[in-house]
Chains A and B, each alone.
Chain A
């Protein structure tokens, strides 16, 4: 158990819908990262938040957005869902240091299926 929690574990929805994925980082971690894992794209970095502020964006679609709240939990919002958005979405957190050299610790993931 990494100490990072994600809800829900599974999500099945239809095209065009909007969903919200939730993540709680390890106690004391200020950084939260979101990654998408799909068969064709592999593991892709989406976005990074540090203490409530967006720090970096990766291959995140405009239909996707995220935020980190004062209690440090984070939400990833996916809208106008398409079949290709079906994937495993991971949240990870790291210790307070911005360098992140101690590694990122991953939650169990949310499996999103778009029908």
Chain B
């Protein structure tokens, strides 16, 4: 079975500062994908960033970057220059390899950006 664990239910950060959200996962597959999704108060699920397990280079999307540690099965999200609009629930998700195309989500981290 695949699992995703987000150990920080809530976090807060001051505007313009940097924050890191943690995620660990477990899978027996060798080829898989990892994602971070953002869910603002509108409840829309927005894809923030993706990482392919077979790529060692950490993914970056503007102010968002990941620290992917495959051996440790860790996939953290760093948000730089935090903005008020970053306030949202953030979900880490795992897409298994083989014929398993479902996303397994963590329970989420509620991030609040304070002015």
Contact status B105-A108, CB under 8 Å: no
**CB-contact partner of B33 in A2, A33, A101, under 8 A:** A101
Best-buried of B44, B91, B95, B101 by chain A (most CB within 10 Å): B101
Among A92, A98, A103, chain B packs the most CB atoms within 10 A around the CB of A103
For chain B, the bracket of interface size reads 20 to 34
List the one stretch of A17-25, A41-49, A65-73 in contact with chain B. A41-49
Considering residues B50, B105, B107, which has the most beta carbons from chain A within 10 angstroms of its beta carbon?
B105
By a CB distance below 8 angstroms, the chain B residues around A102 are 50
The smallest C-beta distance from B71 to any residue of chain A, in angstroms, reads: 21
Task: For chain A, residues 77 to 115, give those with C-beta under 8 angstroms from any C-beta of chain B.
Answer: 88, 90, 92, 94, 98-106, 108-109, 111
Let me know if A109 and B44 touch, CB within 8 A.
Answer: yes
5 contacts between A and B (CB under 8 A): A33-B102, A45-B102, A92-B103, A99-B97, A104-B47
